[in-house]
Amino acid sequence: MRLVRKDFPILNRHIDGKPLIYLDSTATSLKPQMVLDAMDGYYASYSANVFRGIYKISERATSCYESARERIARFIGAKKKDEIIFTRGTDESISLLYYSWALPHVKADDTIVTTIMEHHSNFVPWQQLTKSKGVTLKIWTTDANGELNLKDLDSLITRKTKLLALTAVSNVLGTVNPIQKIIGIVKKLNPACLVLVDAAQAAPHMAIDVQAWGADFIAFSSHKMLGPTGFGVLWGRRELLEDMPVFNFGGDMIKEVHRDSTVFADLPHKFEAGTPHIAGAIGLGAAVDYLSGLGMDAVREHEIEITSYALGKLSEIRGLSIVGPREAICRGGVIAFTMGGLHPHDIAQILDEDNICIRVGFHCAQPLHEYLSIGATARASFYIYTQKTDIDALVLGLHRVKKLLG
């Protein structure tokens, strides 16, 4: 994947005379020129609103906007583009389900299951249902290796279970969950139990197929997969989406409005009120094209190679403890770690002196850190533009940290 680096303008620049070592792709990915050009092209050449403009540039904007929806649908194996709901990101996609599916459907004697490794966006909404609806929330915990035991599903999933909400890939542990196998077990135990998959860390890094998975809903974000910030996707089975009430009110999500009644638009537009993030859709469409051109199997192979190299190099640093599975094949391109008694913020600040960018904190997964009985962690994460020399720079930087702080 070394050749792709030329496609990312930010990697061709120096900051204070030093190259950028970007190891925070789990938080947000860098953007290739192809995506930047697609978005700039909209703003520079046909910057008009979509759907109702009866003039050329508006019709072009509408065509490009809906074309992006169609390509995104193909990218994840959706049957129809109308199952693709545009949102502001994974957080809003899951919040949409909270308001439009959970609140109307769950009741006090229902159960929802989630996992200890979830991002807050797929944990807090279901936690709140225990307060607003009195539902029971069960939390599926991991073993010492950071992996879920599928045998636990026999006790977690009952006839009262309304929803299983889980991540495909942990943004801290790196654990890649066997989603298709999990869903198969869940549907046998309770066919009526719906499954929501947080695919924010999966869609950018590996081939996914919502039909093969057997999921009911999936959510993911544009900015983690080479696209713009402030844009995301909710996919759902059509019959479920059609049954759900609208999420926001405003323009473009209605067919007719009268003094005493309103007729809402069909899917997907009934969930997309107001002027949408048109450039965001066009940018994500271009990102999907870029990734499809590389091939998601090749993307995953590169990630495994880089992660394996990083695991080996980091394991050689005395006092450094890695969180999650030890084998690269079992994890995504993310490694969270601690270094003895050193504070992660101090580690990151020293690394930043050499333009080495990592993430520190709880990574929006504080319940997981509490479960593991650890404080904040440092996190390095990788993507298609990451090369072994980036890992070497990180390791050298961490040795410098130990020398200064140890």
The residues assigned a catalytic role are 364
Are the CB atoms for 68 and 281 separated by under 8 Å?
yes
Alpha-carbon dihedral 77, 120, 248, 85, rounded to 10 degrees: -10
- List beta partners, residue 218: 197, 235
Are the CB atoms for 294 and 384 separated by under 8 Å?
yes
User: At a CB cut-off of 8 Å and minimum separation 6, what does 226 contact?
Assistant: 29, 30, 31, 32, 35, 204, 287, 290, 291
Residue owning tokens 């703003």: 43
Residue-level length of the chain = 406
Sheet of 232-236, strands arranged across: 84-87, 232-236, 217-221, 194-198, 161-167, 111-115, 136-140
Tokens read off for 229: 């910030």
Task: Write down the H helix ranges in 46-152.
Answer: 56-76, 90-97, 103-105, 124-132
**Closest by Cα among 77, 96, 76, 78 to 86:** 96
Tokens read off for 111: 């159960």
